[in-house]
């Protein structure tokens, strides 16, 4: 099965663009991400009940959480990159803007199936990793910090999930192509 086209085939037209570098889109995505984070954290805090927030304060815990988030941010993009590389063997691009970190494969047009795999790879991998950490750790504060990392991960996947939702709702034709430059994804459909 073909995963991509080097050139946009004849008979295709641009159907939709989402550009996270666009100020309005960037802000909207970040607000949606924050809503997801809060929505995930509230039940965790209610279930885990870590107790007095000041008692649980330890500088090393915050430092570890912050370090984990930085490493996660890089790994999230690398997992997108690994999926794109395995599926297309093409040149990747990585970077970040004020509002997003990104990985793209800017020179080609990727078919729906391969595109969805690359989009969802970090979501699947890290939801399992952080979910297991929350489930397996015993100390309520460690659990809570991992839940915070999980919540930030789920919120941070908002762009990937939005693209996936577009594939599931508007662009269900397997012939749909996507050009992903990193911050910007453009959907192309066959007329």
The nearer residue to Zn ion, 160 or 180, going by C-beta atoms, is 160
CB of 161 vs Zn ion, minimal distance in Å:
9
The nearer residue to Zn ion, 143 or 157, going by C-beta atoms, is 157
Which of the residues 141 through 160 are near Zn ion (CB under 5 A)?
160
Helix axis angle for 158-169 and 112-136, nearest 10°, is 130
From 158, 157, 134, select the one nearest 72 (Cα to Cα): 157
Size, binding site for Zn ion by CB under 5 A: 1
Q: What is the DSSP letter of 56?
A: T
- Give the contacts of 146 (CB within 8 A, at least 6 positions apart): 130, 133, 134, 137
CB of 157 vs Zn ion, minimal distance in Å:
6
| CA gap 170, 123 in Å, rounded | 21
The nearer residue to Zn ion, 61 or 184, going by C-beta atoms, is 184
CB of 149 vs Zn ion, minimal distance in Å:
15
The nearer residue to Zn ion, 35 or 45, going by C-beta atoms, is 35
The nearer residue to Zn ion, 11 or 106, going by C-beta atoms, is 106
Token pair for residue 117? 């795999």
From 78, 90, 107, select the one nearest 179 (Cα to Cα): 107
What is the torsional sign of CA 33, 14, 22, 114? positive
For position 163 contacting Zn ion by CB under 5 A, the verdict is no
Integer distance in angstroms from the first to the last C-alpha of the chain?
21
The nearer residue to Zn ion, 44 or 183, going by C-beta atoms, is 183
Contact string 109-148 vs Zn ion (x = CB under 5 A): ----------------------------------------
Give the CB-nearest residue to Zn ion.
160
Which of the residues 85 through 104 are near Zn ion (CB under 5 A)?
none
State the residue for tokens 């093409």: 90
CB of 140 vs Zn ion, minimal distance in Å:
30
Binding site for Zn ion (CB under 5 A): 160
């Amino acid at each position: 099965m073909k995963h991509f086209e080097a050139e946009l085939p004849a008979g295709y037209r641009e159907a939709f663009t989402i550009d996270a570098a666009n100020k309005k889109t960037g802000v909207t995505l970040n607000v949606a991400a924050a809503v997801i984070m809060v929505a995930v954290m509230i039940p965790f805090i209610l279930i885990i009940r870590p107790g007095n927030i000041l008692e649980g304060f330890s500088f090393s815990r915050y430092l570890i959480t912050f370090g984990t988030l930085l490493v996660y941010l890089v790994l999230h993009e690398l997992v997108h990159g690994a999926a794109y590389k395995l599926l297309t063997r093409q040149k990747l691009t990585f970077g970040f803007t004020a509002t997003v970190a990104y990985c793209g494969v800017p020179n080609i047009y990727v078919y729906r199936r391969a595109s969805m795999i690359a989009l969802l790879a970090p979501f699947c991998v890290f939801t399992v990793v952080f979910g297991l950490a929350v489930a397996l750790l015993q100390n309520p504060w460690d659990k809570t910090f991992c839940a915070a990392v999980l919540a930030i991960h789920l919120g941070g996947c908002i762009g990937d999930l939005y693209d996936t939702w577009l594939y599931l709702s508007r662009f269900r034709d397997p012939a749909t192509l996507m050009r992903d430059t990193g911050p910007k994804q453009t959907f192309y459909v066959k007329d």
